[in-house]
Amino acid sequence: MLENTQRAVDRYTENIARLNGVSDVSKKFSVVPSVQQKVEKRIQESAALLKRINVQGVTAQEGEKLGLLVGAPIASTTDTKVKERETVDLTDLDPNRYFCSQTNFDTHLRYNKLDAWATTPNFQTMVRDANAQQQALDRIRVGFNGISRANTSDRTKNPNLEDVNKGWLQKYREQAPSRVVGEGKAKGKIMIGGAGADYANIDALVYEAINSLIEPWYADNPDLVVLCGRDTMLDKYFPIVNRDNPPTESIAASLIISQKRMGNVSAMQVPFMPRGKMLVTMLSNLSIYWEISGRRRAIIDNPKRDQLEFFESSNEAYVIEDFGAGCLLENIVFAGAPGADDPAASGAGQ
């Protein structure tokens, strides 16, 4: 590490120590709540999806869900000559609780990279933001792919962080299986289009799911969206644009693609959604809880490896506020798509 770099690193670590009221950042310390709040805001602002869901601090590591989604209708009438007016719980909490599990975000920066960054006036911002952006992306990846929490995770075997924490899709599988559909006529897959299809098109599947799996007071909510991956979006729209359309049909195709709707509901392509899966819900129904005073840090200069090491952890939980406000569709296969005859290709069994 160059002398100029060492001075920049010293200023960075001294600032971290001052903000958190500690004398030595190489020893694990708890991030003070005011700083933690800023860190969480920075992480949330690093990814478009996180800006649109609930990322909420909680005082207890375990407890009842906050109920951040308004539930069933509340309007009513009462003949007060006969009975008293009665209130209802605005949040309509279900009995499922949350538990914030520790997630580690341990990284390092090599000396040669620090040497390059140290020449810029925004050195501290670059170091800070690099970590925040990756934490944001990893949270989204866990949210859509997390199946379990291993005592020691393995990124080689589980590159989409399937073993870091239980994400939103897994919460539906375990806590609301009646709102999960993963097969049609054939075991292990829902076939779209072609001979013997379960549905003529993806719109029919989404339309039926909304009307049969989602509570009626949510089914017509204008905030309802279909969250899907790039592959599903491509399978739906590619046939429309990949043919010689008359001018009027070309215009119509352009409108369909720009609107991106499925089953008359807005469709949103999200990063890291597993192939062949769709989550139909409102973005306000998805939450990530983080425990206040549950973030730990240590910054260690390791000359044996020529790197500055950042050890950081946060206690967090992935939460569905109201299972009745959504449903999970998985193992979706489009006729003619690669792997259409192989349920495993659509993620069956996850």
Count CB-CB contacts under 10 A for residue 142: 26
Cβ atoms of 69 and 218 closer than 8 Å: no
pLDDT score at 255: 46
Q: What is the pLDDT of residue 257?
A: 46
Radius of gyration of the chain (CA): 24
Q: Which of 38, 11, 42, 5 is nearest to 25 (CA)?
A: 11
What dotted CATH number matches 3-72+87-165+285-321? 3.30.2400
Per-residue pLDDT of the chain (350 residues; tens, 9 = 90+): 899 999 999 999 999 999 999 999 999 999 999 999 999 999 999 999 999 999 999 999 999 888 776 656 657 656 677 777 676 555 555 567 899 999 999 999 999 999 999 999 999 999 999 889 999 999 999 999 999 999 999 999 999 999 999 999 999 999 999 999 999 999 999 999 888 899 999 999 999 999 999 999 999 999 999 999 988 877 766 555 555 555 555 555 554 444 678 888 999 989 999 999 999 999 999 999 999 999 999 999 999 999 999 999 999 999 999 999 999 999 999 987 655 555 455 554 45
Query: What pLDDT score does 335 carry?
Result: 85
pLDDT at 330: 97
Note the pLDDT of residue 321: 94
CA distances from 24 to 2, 104, 107, 111, 132 (A): 22, 20, 19, 21, 22
* The residue type at 200: A
Delimit the domains of the chain by residue range. 3-72+87-165+285-321, 178-284+324-346
